[in-house]
């Protein structure tokens, strides 16, 4: 059996070595390291893949979220509602811009922000909602868009974990996640479903005017050379990263398919295990692209299992071990523990297993058998 890794970037590289090397070589030859032709070409190719009017590449996913919020003109004191159960970047940029993060509980089944909790958190100061398509499964965008329309709020999708996933709306429309709200942010961190070989990110929008504003924000607030109309940032995707992403984008659907197949094999292996809850798909036909394959361990043995896996040399992740509302940087006296009962429980139960495009059957069998044997003893 091959050594089990949480993600296998080397194995994936072996399959696309020539494309990646040729693409990187082109950058070396034309030495346009910043804003080179590879960046422009990648932008166009990603726009086409997603079916979105504008992709604006930037330096990383955290910047992408921040820039999206700057582009929307959110002002200090504006409240932005997001999930308590997510990576800190989502709340971090809200706080950094001196907006007020308002964390709300999530759905116990999908791990995604709970639309009912969003409704409860809305105040006259609320300006935006940031749903995170956590672990690769689309959030309930029909409900979220409806709330946003009703209360005149922006929707900023944090699509760092779900690039390539489809969302089927209740009207029967199929859209890529990240193209539904006003604007979306994604990350090309190496371990993401579409990852580069360093840092990278992008903003997506169908709004021409917003795209124009954001293109200035990423570039020091310049719309005309050396005319700085707004306070911007310096956030660029470099040409080497764009070159890697161009080599990988044509494989994204295949990669997501490989993740889905691995997830189906895990699901089958864990069938009938009472202490294990495998990832639940919502009833609709939207896709889950399994950025993470996350189990809930229902018998209180999650930490013991983690220790056991560590001893057995099987990698795992606890995403996320602490609810954001309990993080020192994001506590707020307005929060009430009772309002976070789902997240408070999830952080004790979740464990994410190795998930990537190169997982082999014997590895999945070994991982699942090790877990089942331990939990039944």
Ligand X SMILES: *Cc1c(COP(=O)(O)O)cnc(C)c1O
**What residues make contact with ligand X under the rule CB under 6 A?**
60-62, 86-87, 89-90, 132, 158, 160-161, 187, 189, 199, 201
> Which residue, among 241, 262, 239, 200, has the nearest Cα to 8 in the 3D structure?
262
**Nearer Cβ to ligand X (243/276):** 243
- Residue 189 or 374 with smaller CB distance to ligand X: 189
Least CB distance to ligand X at residue 135 (A): 9
Residues 8 and 5: their CA atoms lie apart, in Å, by 6
CB of residue 259 to ligand X, shortest distance in Å: 15
User: What gap in Å lies between CA 108 and CA 101, rounded to an integer?
Assistant: 21
**Which residue is catalytic, options 176, 192, 265, 296?**
192
The DSSP H or E segment spanning 261 is helix 252-269
Q: How far is the CB of 193 from ligand X (least distance, A)?
A: 10
How many angstroms separate the CA atoms of 98 and 234, rounded? 19
Nearest distance, CB of residue 226 and ligand X, angstroms = 29
Q: Which tokens is 99 given?
A: 């907006």
Alpha carbon distance 265, 260 (integer Å) = 9
Nearer to ligand X, 61 or 216 (CB): 61
Contact present, 65 and 82 (Cβ < 8 Å): no
Q: Which residue, 148 or 160, has its beta carbon nearer to ligand X?
A: 160
Q: Which residue is nearest to ligand X (CB)?
A: 61
Q: Dig out the tokens for 90 from the structure.
A: 């989502």
Residues 6+ apart with CB under 8 A from 309: 315, 316, 370, 371
Backbone angles phi, psi at 34, to 5 degrees: -115, 135
Q: Whose Cβ is closer to ligand X: residue 24's or residue 58's?
A: 58
Say if strands 350-353 and 293-297 run parallel, antiparallel, or are unpaired.
antiparallel
CB of 269 to ligand X, least distance (A): 26
Catalytic-residue membership of 192: yes
Q: Known catalytic residues?
A: 192
């Amino acid at each position: 059996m091959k050594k089990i890794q949480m993600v296998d970037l080397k194995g994936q590289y072996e399959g696309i070595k020539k494309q990646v090397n040729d693409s990187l070589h082109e950058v070396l030859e034309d030495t346009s390291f910043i804003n080179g032709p590879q960046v422009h070409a990648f932008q166009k190719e990603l726009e086409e893949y997603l079916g979105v009017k504008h992709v604006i590449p930037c330096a990383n996913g955290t910047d992408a979220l921040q820039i999206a919020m700057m582009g929307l003109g959110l002002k200090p004191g504006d409240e932005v509602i997001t999930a308590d159960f997510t990576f800190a970047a989502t709340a971090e940029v809200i706080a950094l811009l001196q907006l007020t993060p308002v964390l709300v509980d999530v759905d116990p089944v999908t791990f995604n922000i709970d639309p009912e909790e969003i409704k409860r958190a809305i105040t006259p100061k609320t300006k935006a909602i940031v749903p995170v398509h956590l672990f690769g499964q689309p959030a309930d965008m029909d409900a979220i868009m409806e709330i946003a329309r009703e209360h005149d709020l922006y929707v900023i999708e944090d699509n760092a974990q779900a690039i390539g996933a489809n969302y089927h709306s209740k009207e029967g429309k199929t859209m890529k996640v990240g193209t539904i709200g006003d604007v979306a942010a994604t990350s090309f961190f190496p371990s993401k479903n579409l990852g580069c070989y360093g840092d990278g990110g992008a903003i997506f929008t169908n709004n021409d005017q917003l795209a124009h504003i954001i293109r200035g924000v990423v570039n020091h607030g310049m719309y005309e050379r050396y005319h700085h109309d707004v306070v911007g940032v310096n956030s660029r995707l470099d040409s080497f990263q764009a070159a890697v992403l161009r080599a990988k984008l044509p494989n994204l659907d295949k990669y997501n398919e490989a993740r889905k197949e691995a997830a189906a094999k895990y699901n089958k292996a864990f069938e009938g295990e009472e202490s294990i809850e495998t990832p639940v798909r919502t009833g609709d036909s939207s896709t889950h692209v399994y950025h993470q394959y996350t189990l809930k361990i229902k018998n209180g043995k999650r930490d013991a299992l983690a220790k056991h896996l560590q001893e057995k040399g099987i990698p795992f992740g606890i995403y996320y071990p602490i609810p954001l509302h309990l993080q020192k940087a994001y506590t707020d006296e307005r929060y009430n523990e009772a309002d976070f009962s789902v997240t408070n429980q999830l952080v004790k139960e979740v464990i994410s297993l190795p998930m990537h495009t190169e997982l082999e059957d014997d590895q999945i069998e070994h991982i699942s058998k090790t877990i089942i044997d331990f939990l039944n003893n």
